[in-house]
Amino acid sequence: MQTITVFRGDGIGPEITDAVLEILDAAGAKFNYEIFDVGEAVYQKTGEFIPQKGLDSFDKTKVLLKSPITTPIGKGFRSLNVTLRNKYDLWANIRPAKSNPCLDTLFKNIDIVTFRENTEDLYVGKEEVIDDNTVIAYKIITKKASRRIIKAAFEYAIAHDRKKVTCVHKANILKKTDGLFLSIFEAIAKDYPQIESNSLIVDNTCMQLVMHPQQFDVMVMPNLYGDIISDLTSGLIGGLGLLPSCNKGDTHAMYEAVHGSAPDIAGKGIANPTALLLSSCMMLEDLGQQKTSAAIRKAIDAVFTDKTCLTPDLGGHASTKQFVQSIIDHLKKD
Ligand code: NAI
Ligand code: MG
């Protein structure tokens, strides 16, 4: 049986991790788990945000189901998420935003997959104080990282029978950095004549997403725009509690919800575990357990259709535990 590493995270992290593991068990997922507490609480006890044993486990299992971690604020701390993405060169951040017809959402028929470059751009975290008046941040764009994420977006489009890939950029102002990303996109698009391609400036993209989101299919972009645009797409389909993601490299993969540790609702027992649950479905599908994933997706649809067991972020009154029980009840019915 495949072993996977699990990080329980901060804030709502432990609540949604436990919820998802309970559902995976009920659905008959074939995994052994190596589970680790990570984040602020661990740091207070041990001085490490992520225990070395947890990293050793991920080194070995190559698959990580990860809950959100609070980004420590203070001098010398870097986002642990960015650190993990860089350490394992998880260069593709794939975020599918699909509207669920069983939910009342702002829009229907949305099926957008964002490919976010995950290793560079402003997220290299290199900032300098020049003098009393001026600070600068480095925006790094390389041919290598741009090529692999753009190619991955087109390959995904082919493999999943998608029609169009849109490149998001600001090359009109950032002529060298985003200009490079865009020119690589235009060159690679020529290798995929069967897929429609276009490019849009990021500000116009935001307006188009809010006015006519159904025009988008697969989207590819540098790191910062990917972070922002994917939160926007989550709003189109019902909020952050619903958006899953996978961070993939050549050897390792990390599955996580797009949202953060939600300190405003942590410990209240009302977090929506769907985003992490759908991330675990992406993991099941990548690891050949399609049937289990399909059963979980079907149970989610049933709970959303029924509407009596929705968490408060979706307009309901259910606790995380009630939501989980309702999913498990539907799994048992099949
Ligand atoms: P957030 O995503 O944690 O929360 C934004 C809003 O969405 C809050 O009102 C929250 O209650 C709600 N929300 C998020 N997930 C939800 C869920 N599953 N169910 C119900 N409501 C949910 O963003 P925020 O507050 O800006 O960040 C909190 C911390 O998380 C920060 O330290 C941030 O750096 C970190 N973070 C970590 C991420 C990760 O580990 N991948 C990603 C994003 C943020
Ligand atoms: Mg984000």
pLDDT tens digits, the chain, 334 residues: what are they? 999 999 999 999 999 999 999 999 999 999 999 999 999 888 888 888 899 999 999 999 999 999 999 887 765 667 788 889 889 999 999 999 999 988 888 899 999 999 999 999 999 989 999 999 999 999 999 999 999 999 999 999 999 999 999 999 999 999 999 999 999 999 999 999 999 999 999 999 999 999 999 999 999 999 999 999 999 999 999 999 999 999 999 999 999 999 999 999 999 999 999 999 999 999 999 999 999 999 999 999 999 999 999 999 999 999 999 999 999 999 998 7
Residue 68 in contact with ligand 1 by CB distance below 6 A: yes
Tokens 């959303």: give the residue.
304
Instruction: List, in order, residues 6 or more apart from 43 with CB less than 8 Å away.
Output: 49, 72
Superfamily of domain 1-94+241-334: Isopropylmalate Dehydrogenase (3.40.718.10)
Distance 179 CA to ligand 1 centre (A): 32
Residue 256 in contact with ligand 1 by CB distance below 6 A: yes
Instruction: List, in order, residues 6 or more apart from 162 with CB less than 8 Å away.
Output: 113, 156, 195, 217, 218
- Closest ligand by atom to 90 CA: 1
Q: Do residues 219 and 113 make contact, with C-beta atoms less than 8 angstroms apart?
A: yes
Residue 61 in contact with ligand 1 by CB distance below 6 A: no
Known catalytic residue: 123? yes
Known catalytic residue: 170? yes
Known catalytic residue: 132? no
Known catalytic residue: 227? yes
What global pTM score does this model have? Answer: 0.94
CA distances from 248 to 152, 245, 279, 301, 302 (A): 10, 10, 12, 27, 30
Ligand 2 is an ion; its neighbours by CB within 5 Å are: 227
Domains of the chain, by residue range, sit at 1-94+241-334, 106-236
ipTM of the prediction: 0.98
Neighbours of 134 (CB within 10 A): 8
Nearest CA to ligand 1 atom 38: 260
Known catalytic residue: 301? no
SS3 158: helix
Point out the catalytic residue in the list 18, 89, 111, 231. Answer: 231
- The CATH code that applies to domain 106-236 is 3.40.718.10
Point out the catalytic residue in the list 43, 123, 225, 255. Answer: 123
Assess whether the region 1-94+241-334 and the region 106-236 belong to the same CATH fold: yes
